[in-house]
Amino acid sequence: MARSLFSSVLALCFTMMMVLSPASAAHALGGPLPPLNQAAPEFSLPSNTGDRAISLTDYRGKWVVAYFYPKDFTSGCTLEAQRFQADLPKYINKNTQVLGISVDSVDSHAEFCDSEGLKFPLLADEDGAVSKAYGAWLAPMSLRNTYIIDPNGVLRATFTQVRPVIHSAEVLQKLDELQTVKS
């Protein structure tokens, strides 16, 4: 009993230390982050938008904002999704596709989109494999990380320790910077 309690306290202390300390560029709380300026990890996941899976390669020629989030219908995740939805016309004007990714099911995503009026796809990473590939996995859910991928499939920006209330504005600002450099 004492050993189990000690192990639990030690694990909690380690977790708190990781949460409270800044994430390094190479290794965030959810594991190794994919390197910037290299091909983004490919994926193909079911979505709330139809029968076929959505793949990163479907968006070649467009910028992609892939944002990972913990759970449909929770306060932070709802706020983050609402902000992306409110700014969706700005993303469209920047030739950018927003994709939300979590471990929730396609059915949960469909209900969440209906409830919040979301007009962008939510992808179901039910086994966490894509979250792991992006360093956004803290079992049993995805962390709140976001990635900007250019029209050639190259990872250009990573956001960890995201604050939902201002995040979409941060992403738009970074997208402006990246698109200005690319022009």
Catalytic option among 77, 122, 136, 175? 77
H-helix or E-strand containing 161? none
Main-chain dihedrals φ then ψ at residue 54, nearest 5 degrees = -105, 130
- Whole-angstrom distance, CA of residue 82 vs CA of residue 97: 15
Decide: 141 and 71 in contact? Cβ < 8 Å.
Answer: yes
Q: Is 113 a catalytic residue?
A: no
> Which residue, among 127, 128, 138, has the nearest Cα to 161 in the 3D structure?
138
* Active site positions, annotated: 77
